[in-house]
A and B are shown apart, each in its own frame.
Chain A
Amino acid sequence: GAGVSQSPSNKVTEKGKDVELRCDPISGHTALYWYRQSLGQGLEFLIYFQGNSAPDKSGLPSDRFSAERTGGSVSTLTIQRTQQEDSAVYLCASSPNGGSNYGYTFGSGTRLTVV
């Protein structure tokens, strides 16, 4: 696609429920990243994919968080048993392969509210 697409754009869920957030990167971009932006905070790195593998999962806050990527394209971030502190904007970004000269292209994010 023309840009990075994230869905849903907004999600309100009850505490304890599971949620799935979807990211559709730019076609041909092999690198995909998930970040979290909490109110008044910077960007917190969650996980990074190169193709379908995740060489860096160091940012996932707990074992309630998981992510997968299939076909080198769409990625899903799953949060199990959501807690109120999970409320944030979840941002996905993609980048071409080829080294460190590229920035990312970000999606518009999914605003998650846990009530």
Chain B
Amino acid sequence: GDSVTQMEGPVTLSEEAFLTINCTYTATGYPSLFWYVQYPGEGLQLLLKATKADDKGSNKGFEATYRKETTSFHLEKGSVQVSDSAVYFCALRRRDDKIIFGKGTRLHILP
């Protein structure tokens, strides 16, 4: 069945470091792909999305590119801030509208 696999955390980085959180997926067809973020004590928020191959989603300095050939949607940011500390979820949305989430990656940014 369809699934999303993302790197296990926690990931701990210093402020201004480069961030990559890996995400790969297994799906029938060409799903839309998403990254959601959950800040401490808050609900999930859509961070960015890509709906077809080679699309790049971007928001708040984060980017992810839909790579069909490697079935990946890795999240990157060039210079992280303490305020980026959160749990990040990779997800895919199937044609039947069901969204499948990865297990989440907790990110800690040290000042």
Contacts and interface: CB of A to CB of B under 8 A. Distances in A.
A105 B46 contact: yes
Contacts of A102: 32, 93
Contact of B97 (A31, A35, A109): A31
16 contacts: A42-B101, A42-B102, A43-B44, A43-B89, A45-B99, A45-B100, A48-B97, A48-B98, A56-B98, A101-B49, A101-B51, A103-B32, A103-B46, A103-B49, A106-B43, A106-B45
For chain A, what secondary structure do more than half of its interface residues adopt (helix, strand, loop), or is it mixed?
strand
Nearest to B4: A42
A7 to B, nearest CB: 14
Given A101-B51, A106-B45, A42 B36 contact: no
Interface string B69-93: 0000000000000000000010101
Interface in A31-56: 31, 33, 35, 41-43, 45, 48, 50, 55-56
A100 interface: yes
Q: How large is the interface on B (under 10, 10 to 19, 20 to 34, 35 or more residues)?
A: 20 to 34
Interface of A: 31, 33, 35, 41-43, 45, 48, 50, 55-56, 91, 93, 95, 99-109
